[in-house]
Chain A
Amino acid sequence: MWRFIGRRLLYAVPILLGVSIIIFALVQLAPGDVTDILIPPEAPKEVADILRHKFGLDRPVYEQYFIWLGNLLQGDLGVSIFTNQPVGSELASALSNTLMLAIPAAFLGFTLGAVLGVLAAFFRGGWLDKLFSGIAIAGVSLPHYWVGIVLVAIFAVTLNVLPAQGMGPEDGDVWDSLRHLILPVITLSLIPMGVISRLVRASVLEILSQEFISALSAKGMARRRILFHIVKNAAPPTLAVMGLQFGYLLGGSILVETVYNWPGSGGLMNLAIFRRDVPVLSSTILVLAGIFVAINILVDVLQALIDPRLRR
């Protein structure tokens, strides 16, 4: 078992290296460089050259890469061109804000999705099934950022019961902060809910059709206990997808955070894009990808724990 974990961890190293190369390559391919942002275009060439030298842009490409990589490994995520603050601290606080959204959204999306999926499977063919399946398909077809806008339109603009954006004042009370959470969390939970409910429905249906369920039922096992067996069988692939969805929530929250002006990692990226603040952008993407890889490994290990067949 430990060998399996060790292998997976070892395997993550070239992947992360590959990720860093991709990001670095993208940055290199981007039009223009730092000097375009910091100094006006009319500035004399020597000024631009001095700046380039200061940022190490006149060295050969692979040298730049290794310097950058070396810094990364020591925890130095670079310095924002705009604010001159180290990226690390900004990113840390932004990430914690995103987690504040992602964790409740994951919880909401997964539980609702699983319940809907199981119900839809049990009442297969009935109106309940069609309704839930419809909701699930809608959940996947809706641009969730649009739903966010619609929710804001309904609850903030028309009804005026919930705030439209932001996290609320720093020193506000708990209830106020919670009110700011409601809409973004609901919006964020839509996609996981849709995906999980479709998956659970399909898994449960497939398990129900397998012969061993009939065998258990014929032996007189109570329905509740059969349910337990079903859950045990449906769990591994579902857990895997849940893990992935959580990763998507963390890495892909940018759209929802833009709608609600939420100062999370997505908002940070948004700002960085707007300002062309390359260090912030590339480091953020790198960290988010790294977290996603870590989640993937965790999911693999958990799956292997549950289902011994998967231990390769």
Chain B
Amino acid sequence: MADQVSAREAIEGPIPTLDPAEALARAREGKGYWKRVWESLKDDKVTIVVAIVLLLIFLAAIFAPLIATHDPSKGSIIGRLKGFGYKDHLLGTDETGRDMFSRLVFGARLSLISGVLPVIFALLIGGSLGIAAGYLRGRVNTVIMRSMDVLYAFPSILLAIAICGILGSGLENTLLALTITFIPPIVRVSETVTVQVRSLDFVDAARTSGASSASIMCRHVLNNVLGQILVYTTSLVSLSIILAAGLSFLGLGVTPPDAEWGLMLNNLRQAIWVNPTIAALPGVAIFITSMSFNLLSDGLRQAMDIRL
């Protein structure tokens, strides 16, 4: 059959064909959806600014020992709560005389870790659960979604407080608490989006190829739901940072003498009466980081809203 010349070819001449290996290569580098999202993102000025800000914050955290001007745990009795520029303290000193700038820079590490890591874990766990629940439906869906309902009975802060408050403070418990707090909403969003995608014809078409459910979920469903899941998840990062700092603020998260923005806020509460500007500084850091993630998420959503 392959040797027969079709009627079309007889009339129009041989149809130029494509070497399969080359076709494979072309398929891989084609202007896919993600490429277009990337290009759209690059054009958005707000997103670029925000991305740079976040990059700087991350770099500051990573290279904290190199950037910090002083030892973040070394205090001084006389140099407490001094303003900007006192001696060589760029941003003043805190309530035990430690350099604010250095503590902020080192604090970025713990704040970012406790903010970003739980969201990543929750995305991996919750995303898989949600996609599975949405695609496989039936009993799998019921078991997963009903379990999430139980977790949903807690307002987010309350769940985190329950875990940290009862189990104890510390970084591990904070990470655990925040991960568990964020899994239910991610599961819910993933499931909703997956259910929508599953009703589309191409999923049925994929099923008629005889592929396994796992293969279909990975190769067909995932690419179509990832966008919306990511948009939602990035918006959670800002909340996570605020919550993590909040937990430390309550004494449930990171413990002294570690530097962490929420903890610093708590320690500086009484300093409000003496030097309000210094007392407010850690909050500024939280605000900038959180806002940047929010704007990044918005930018991502806009970029993904490309009309196909």
Contact = CB atoms under 8 A, between A and B. Distances in A.
Interface stretch (A50-58, A181-189, A213-221, A281-289): A281-289
B189 interface: no
Contacts of A255: 157, 246, 249-250
Given A23-B162, A149-B283, A278-B166, A157 B290 contact: no
B158 interface: yes
Nearest to B289: A141
Nearest to B291: A141
A269 interface: yes
Interface SS of B by simple majority: helix
Contacts of B149: 15, 18
A213 to B, nearest CB: 21
Contacts of A15: 149-150, 153
Contacts of B250: 254-255, 258, 270, 273
A22 interface: yes
A254 B280 contact: no
Given A149-B265, A282-B166, A140 B238 contact: yes
A282 B166 CA distance: 8
A145 B290 contact: no
B229 interface: no
Given A274-B251, A288-B158, A269 B153 contact: no
Contacts, number: 144
Interface in B133-160: 146-147, 149-158
A31 interface: yes
A150 interface: yes
Interface string A111-152: 000000000000000000000000001101111011101101
A142 B157 contact: no
A22 B153 CA distance: 11
B245 interface: yes
Interface centre among B146, B156, B157 (most CB of A within 10 A): B157
Contacts of B291: 137-138, 141-142
B246 A285 contact: no
A18 B166 contact: no
Given A137-B291, A143-B290, A289-B153, A252 B166 contact: no
A232 B4 CA distance: 66
B252 interface: yes
Contacts of A30: 166-168
A23 B251 CA distance: 20
Interface residues of B, number: 46
Contacts of A252: 155-158
A264 interface: no
Contact of B166 (A137, A157, A281, A292): A281
A248 interface: yes
Overall SS of chain A's interface = helix
B287 A146 contact: yes
A145 B269 CA distance: 11
Residue among A16, A152, A251, A281 with most chain B CB within 10 A = A251
Interface string A162-193: 00000000000000000000000000000000
A158 interface: yes
A272 B252 CA distance: 12
B194 interface: no
A293 interface: yes
Contacts of B158: 251-252, 285, 288-289, 292
A142 B239 CA distance: 9
Interface in B231-283: 238-239, 242, 245-246, 249-252, 262, 265, 269, 272-273, 276, 279-280, 282-283
Contacts of B293: 141
B53 interface: no
A140 B283 CA distance: 14
Nearest to B158: A251
A265 B81 CA distance: 33
21 contacts: A15-B153, A18-B147, A18-B153, A19-B154, A22-B150, A137-B291, A141-B294, A142-B291, A147-B283, A149-B272, A149-B283, A153-B279, A157-B276, A250-B155, A255-B157, A270-B250, A273-B250, A274-B251, A278-B166, A292-B155, A296-B152
Interface of A: 14-16, 18-19, 22-23, 26-27, 29-31, 137-138, 140-143, 145-147, 149-150, 152-154, 157-158, 247-248, 250-252, 254-255, 258-259, 269-270, 272-274, 278, 281-282, 285, 288-289, 292-293, 296
Interface of B: 146-147, 149-158, 161-163, 165-168, 238-239, 242, 245-246, 249-252, 262, 265, 269, 272-273, 276, 279-280, 282-283, 286-287, 290-291, 293-295, 298
